Amino acid sequence: MGITPALSVDNLSYAYPQGGAALREITFSMAPGERVALLGANGAGKSTLLWCLVGVLACTGTISVGGVELGRNTMAEVRRRLGLGFSEPDDQLFTLTVERDITFGLLAAGTAPEEARQRAREAARLVGLPEVLFSRAPHELSSGERRRAALAAVLVSHPGALALDEPTNSLDAPGRAALADTLAGLDCAQLIATHDLEFVSQLCGRALVLVGGELVADVPLVDLLADEERLAEYRLAARRGAVR
């Protein structure tokens, strides 16, 4: 018996309510622990795809996470297995304290408070978030600390895969380096939607490229970064030193 993919997407399509296709027949899969860059210019459909993966947007096609097919009766389980990280941490941090934000989903699902607190501490350690910050309001944290708190709020549910939307937004160079180290230390599969080619060059061995809602390339990332003609065709800009 083969290994169950961490994420499997087959013939996924999505059209805007007012008409017009946003995603067309997207098909790919990811192995457990694999890190994949999701690339494309603004408007290519990267964020739309991530929202479809957890059922926020109703699409056609088949999505399976860890062998569980997304559907009306399985949506909660799929969202537990695939953690979605928003492009802006402030969209995920909305309660009065960091601890409440990290434990919110667990408590809503009926987890006992002490177990939720313990899992919050474990998630915080994974991302390098000091527990002393738990009592603070999210707006009192730095950009990097908010990013780590938002990631902890996703990891606390022990997902087998992550879908991260522009995770380096608002981070300076040290913050980007620290986040790369954190993600490299996680054993879950990661689909990282970004414009930051230098960042994903440190993490990902593979790239998916969207152009106008279509998957036009599924290639080794190092090969894509070395091909200036294709980068220009896909409207992607590699920073100096991105290829490693």
Where does the pLDDT of residue 244 fall: very low under 50, low under 70, confident under 90, or very high at 90 and above?
very low
Tally of CB atoms within 10 A around 76: 10
Task: Give 183's contacts (C-beta < 8 A, 6+ positions apart).
Answer: 35, 164, 167, 190, 192, 203
Beta bridge partners of 37: 192, 207
Where does the pLDDT of residue 1 fall: very low under 50, low under 70, confident under 90, or very high at 90 and above?
low
DSSP per residue, 20-58? -EEEEEEEEEE-TT-EEEEE--TTSSHHHHHHHHTTSS-
> How confident is the model over 181-208, as pLDDT tens digits?
989 999 999 999 999 999 999 999 999 9
- Tokens 């995920």 -> residue: 92
Does the pLDDT at position 66 exceed 50? yes
> How confident is the model over 102-138, as pLDDT tens digits?
999 899 889 999 999 999 999 998 888 999 999 999 9
DSSP 67: T
Q: What are the Cα distances from residue 9, in Å, to 130, 214, 224?
A: 36, 13, 22
Q: pTM for the full model? A: 0.90
Q: What are the Cα distances from residue 24, in Å, to 15, 173, 235?
A: 9, 35, 19
Which amino acid, residue 220? P
- Cα–Cα distance measured from residue 74 to residue 165, given in angstroms and rounded to the nearest whole number: 23
What's the helix, strand, coil split of the chain in %, to 5?
40, 25, 40
101 close to 107: Cβ distance less than 8 angstroms:
no
Domains of the chain, earliest start first:
7-91+153-233 (3.40.50.300)
What average pLDDT does this structure show over 1-6? 85
What average pLDDT does this structure show over 213-221? 97
Per-residue confidence (pLDDT) for residue 238, from 0 to 100: 57
Where does the pLDDT of residue 243 fall: very low under 50, low under 70, confident under 90, or very high at 90 and above?
very low
- DSSP H or E stretch at residue 145: helix 143-155
